[in-house]
Amino acid sequence: MFLIVAVASLLVKIIPSSVGEFQRPFKFDSPLRDGGLHPHGTSTFDQTPQVAIGRGTIIVGSVLHEAGWPRAVEAFRGIPYALPPVGDRRFRPLVPISSQGVINATRFGPRCPGKQLVQLPGSGGAESEDCLTLNVFRPEIADADSETVKWPVAVYIHGGAFNRGTAKVDGRIPVAAMHDTASMVAWSERPFVAVSFNYRIGALGFLPSNLSREEGILNLGLKDQVVVMEWVQENIHNFGGDPSQVTLFGLSAGAHSIGHHVMNLRDESPLFHRVIIESGAATSRGVYPYDAARHQVQFAEFLTEAGCADLPSAAVFPCLRARPEKDITDAQTAVFEKYNPSLRWAFQPVIDGDIISKRPIDAWASGAWNMVPIMTGFSTNEGTYYVPASMAQPDEFTDFFRVLIPRLSTADLRVIKELYPDPSTRPDSPYVDSRDLAAIGVGPQFKRVEAAYAHYAYVCPVRQTATLAAPNQKPPVYLYHWALNQTVKGGANHADHILYQTMDAAVLEYSEAQRDVAWTMHAYWTSFITTGDPNSIRGRAGDRPEWARYNTEKPRVMVFGEDNDERGGGDGLGVAAKMEEDEWSRQECKFWWTKTELSEMG
């Protein structure tokens, strides 16, 4: 979902001439630079970086140097981390690879199958079931040092509703859609090694049902993520990374994933030591038991679409494994699309008694989770991409929640109506929309349903993580709120902050105020990644405010870009970052927190 919508919003930005949002032309060429061509290359650096990871495997990378980057980055892209999950290995846990010989790791591997909304120029469009590759980025390193450095490590888990998205970045446009991890590394004051990767999505990664449980294949996509974390533990030292300082970070579905990993206590030594959970949480949106009615129905529909219905149980997975890839991906797209408008999404993580051992809300109550430093946060307008834009009638607002969360009682629905006053009857409602609705293509109930869904699905679960973790664990928790208004319709939208975090040229060059937000955010993030504290490395944004750890007695939040609406057509420059009392939408969250369990029961 996220990829689609980010791309869609980007197209919206390109097409109208409005404000000349990007001051330099898009480049559609691949950022790949062959070793011999990169402008930064000097004789002291190896021009084709190579890393041996044991068992005879040598990984040959390349050096990237974008104009404007302060330093070059060595990239090792498209490294397979398991045997291809195809044919008889489809719908099964991963099988490790033993020896791989020399790997030409100069290109991203294809993304995992999932319906993307538009094929973008330069995006290559390649998708394949054989998609389980990871990428390693590190600052260019002198040969002599490569054996001795021990840099902190950050592992990025991409978003996309568990049905879209990729770690792949090609040229500028998908940079906006996904995460330019290499750019983030290039700009960091302190060096770190970053890893990004693809994991199985859609039905191929998340196909809950009774039968899938018997087959032992629930939450395969989450388990792929664990395999990557294990790969990092085993191999990252060869790249100069320190396996005892691993930060997981990710957005949206990537953030929900991290929430589940935080809750997943294991007997083995920890696979990560810090987390950044952006617009997501273990309790976000809805996490149902594997045999929840909605998922059983979706499973049956998937089997029908894939041509494997009406078979004895023992024949179902053999049938699915024998189908051509296209039949499977068409089937997963059809079922996902059917439930997309109501947001009762198919192919999601579920409570499996294993990697998600219990209802996430019960996991918090148990007092036992991986207690590591947590940075987490939300955006003001998280709902923009997801809710039905044309919503016009007050009844549609209530119906939306009745369908989304069938366990809400009539009394609950009444409370929701009061919490989000109807703009059609209440002139004092904050959801009276004075924008030109036709111009931005929304109905008069849009603002109201956007806010309510944003709170239910993202804002309140995120704040729940901060509220439940901070008083109950020793390591610190830091909360942020992204408030920079980037478009008239979307405001401070889901995922908008990614281009700031990665120091995208389009942001840096837009204006001084935008650049300051990017510098500040990137400094907090990379300081947290490299030290566990967002404040300790001062760097480029040396005068940024101290980010106080979350304290539920007197909750405070770091707000980014408040009152800045220059990109949305206003003239406010606002403040890059400032600590404020964490009161925005608190009343609403107090209600939603009492309803969390309704989205975690079958």
Q: How far apart are CA 307 and CA 290, in angstroms?
A: 22
Among 402, 396, 403, 399, residue whose Cα is nearest residue 424: 396
- Residue from 116, 198, 298, 381 binding ligand NAG (CB under 6 A): 381
- Residue from 570, 581, 583, 601 binding ligand NAG (CB under 6 A): 570
Cβ distance to ligand NAG smaller for residue 6 or 469: 6
Cβ distance to ligand NAG smaller for residue 11 or 293: 293
Q: Between 107 and 126, how does the x/- string for binding to ligand NAG read (CB under 6 A)?
A: x-------------------
Query: Whole-number minimum distance, CB 489 to ligand NAG, in Å?
Result: 7
Among 312, 305, 307, residue whose Cα is nearest residue 323: 307
Size of the site for ligand NAG (CB under 6 A): 15
Q: How far apart are CA 108 and CA 516, in angstroms?
A: 31
Query: Do you know the residue count of the chain?
Result: 602
Interacting positions 165-194 with ligand NAG (CB under 6 A) = none
Q: Select from 65-73, 80-88, 307-315, 483-491 the region that touches ligand NAG (CB under 6 A).
A: 483-491
Q: How far apart are CA 146 and CA 53, in angstroms?
A: 13
Cβ distance to ligand NAG smaller for residue 174 or 490: 490
- Residue from 64, 568, 584, 596 binding ligand NAG (CB under 6 A): 568
Cβ distance to ligand NAG smaller for residue 105 or 282: 105
- From the number of C-beta atoms within 10 Å of its C-beta (0-12, 13-18, 19+), residue 556 rates as middle
Token pair, residue 265, equals 């206590």
Cβ distance to ligand NAG smaller for residue 85 or 491: 491
Q: Select from 101-109, 158-166, 171-179, 276-284 the region that touches ligand NAG (CB under 6 A).
A: 101-109
Query: Whole-number minimum distance, CB 537 to ligand NAG, in Å?
Result: 32
**Considering 252, 257, 284, 585, which one is annotated as catalytic?**
252
Interacting positions 336-375 with ligand NAG (CB under 6 A) = none
Query: Whole-number minimum distance, CB 548 to ligand NAG, in Å?
Result: 27
- Please give the sequence-ordered ranges of beta strands (E in DSSP) within 426-492, or none if there are none: 477-482
CA distances for 349 relative to 105, 138, 203, 258, angstroms? 31, 31, 11, 12
Query: Whole-number minimum distance, CB 432 to ligand NAG, in Å?
Result: 12
- Residue from 104, 366, 536, 587 binding ligand NAG (CB under 6 A): 104
491 lines the binding site for ligand NAG (CB under 6 A) = yes
Q: How far apart are CA 292 and CA 286, in angstroms?
A: 11
Q: How far apart are CA 110 and CA 114, in angstroms?
A: 12
Q: Which residue is nearest to ligand NAG (CB)?
A: 491
Q: Select from 1-9, 151-159, 217-225, 484-492 the region that touches ligand NAG (CB under 6 A).
A: 484-492
- Residue from 426, 435, 538, 590 binding ligand NAG (CB under 6 A): 435
Query: Whole-number minimum distance, CB 543 to ligand NAG, in Å?
Result: 27
The Cβ-side half-sphere exposure at 204, using a 13 Å CA radius, reads 36
Question: What is the DSSP track for 144-156?
Answer: GGTTT--EEEEEE
Q: Is 409 left (phi over 0), alpha (psi -120 to 50) or beta?
A: beta
As a dihedral over the C-alpha atoms of residue 380, residue 476, residue 271, residue 350, rounded to 10 degrees, the angle is -40
- From the number of C-beta atoms within 10 Å of its C-beta (0-12, 13-18, 19+), residue 296 rates as middle
291 lines the binding site for ligand NAG (CB under 6 A) = yes
Cβ distance to ligand NAG smaller for residue 290 or 592: 290
Cβ distance to ligand NAG smaller for residue 36 or 569: 569
Interacting positions 538-567 with ligand NAG (CB under 6 A) = 565
- Residue from 58, 311, 488, 513 binding ligand NAG (CB under 6 A): 488
- What residue type is 485 in one-letter code? N
Bridge partners (DSSP) of residue 196 are 135, 156
8 A C-beta contact, residue 32 and residue 62: yes
- Residue from 569, 583, 587, 590 binding ligand NAG (CB under 6 A): 569
Query: Whole-number minimum distance, CB 372 to ligand NAG, in Å?
Result: 34
Cβ distance to ligand NAG smaller for residue 415 or 513: 513
Query: Whole-number minimum distance, CB 101 to ligand NAG, in Å?
Result: 12
Angle at 596 between CA 590 and CA 599, to 5 degrees: 150
- From the number of C-beta atoms within 10 Å of its C-beta (0-12, 13-18, 19+), residue 550 rates as buried
Query: Whole-number minimum distance, CB 492 to ligand NAG, in Å?
Result: 7
Q: 88 CB contacts (<8 Å, ≥6 apart)? A: 321
H/E stretch holding 579 reads strand 573-581
What would the 3-class secondary structure string for 506-559 be? HHHCCCHHHHHHHHHHHHHHHHHHHHCCCCCCCHHHCCCCCCCCCCCCCCEEEE
As a dihedral over the C-alpha atoms of residue 376, residue 195, residue 161, residue 118, rounded to 10 degrees, the angle is 130
Cβ distance to ligand NAG smaller for residue 311 or 415: 311
Cα separation of the two ends of the chain: 24
Q: Select from 102-110, 151-159, 390-398, 401-409 the region that touches ligand NAG (CB under 6 A).
A: 102-110
304 lines the binding site for ligand NAG (CB under 6 A) = no
257 catalytic? Reply is no
8 A C-beta contact, residue 171 and residue 152: no
Interacting positions 14-53 with ligand NAG (CB under 6 A) = none
Q: How far apart are CA 202 and CA 221, in angstroms?
A: 9
Q: Between 227 and 266, how does the x/- string for binding to ligand NAG read (CB under 6 A)?
A: ----------------------------------------
- Residue from 47, 128, 238, 296 binding ligand NAG (CB under 6 A): 296
Residues assigned a catalytic role: 252
**Interface contacts to ligand NAG, rule CB under 6 A:** 104, 106-107, 210, 291, 296, 381, 435, 485, 488, 491, 565, 568-570
